[in-house]
Amino acid sequence: MTSVVYPGSFNPITNGHRDIVERALRLFDKVIVAVGTSPDKDPKTHLAERIGLCRLALAEFGDRVEVEGFNVLLVEYARAKNTRFVVRGLRTISDFDYEYQMIAMNQTMDPDLEYVLLPTSRQWSFLSSSLVREIAGLGGDISEFVPPAVAEHYRKSS
Ligand code: ADP
């Protein structure tokens, strides 16, 4: 069985992330969604909440998707999960710049880890977690951009 790690902040998980999971499942038997802490993005958002929303949003894929928190180096995490593959989503050229830099850094730590960069569906190429948070924070409707469980969560907490 071949598995792949999909690391990210998932703050919150969006339809764009879900799309990448679905595409990765066409290439791999199992996707391990690794929800990390991202000091740059929003350190305060509760990790357990982001994990819980990912689990609800990806429940339809059953045991082909595992969701876990992680707070170690990606190369170490992948090793611990016995996989040599990492998947990331690509929206724009600026995503590519960032990913390429991250890959180069990680390659120096573990040259055997392979990276799969999957372009998102065009309809989600504009979508980001930070915009979703901003819209939700201002009381806007995010149901078009996120899985139903996430929309429900933000509705309840607003
Ligand atoms: P990070 O803080 O690691 O960038 P994110 O949760 O923002 O975490 O993103 C995780 C991964 O999902 C990244 O590879 C990012 O490019 C990708 N991603 C984010 N939004 C989308 C989207 N709308 N479509 C496709 N991929 C996306």
Cis bond leading into 119, ω under 30°? no
CA distance 45 to 3: 28
Residue 143 annotated as catalytic: no
Known catalytic residue: 91? yes
Q: Assess whether the C-beta atom of 9 lies below 6 angstroms from ligand 1.
A: yes
Q: Which residues fall within 8 angstroms of residue 83, CB to CB, at 6 or more apart?
A: 2, 3, 4, 5, 32
67-120 tens-digit pLDDT: 999 999 999 999 999 999 999 999 988 899 999 999 999 999 999 999 999 999
Q: Quick check: CB of 89 below 6 Å from ligand 1?
A: yes
Cβ of 136: how many Cβ atoms within 10 Å?
21
- Is 46 a catalytic site residue? no
Query: pTM score, two decimals?
Result: 0.93
> What is the tens place of the pLDDT at every residue in 120-152?
999 999 999 999 999 999 999 999 999 999 999
What is the rounded distance in angstroms from the CA atom of residue 83 to the CA atom of residue 5? 7
Tell whether ligand 1 has an atom less than 6 A from the beta carbon of residue 129: yes
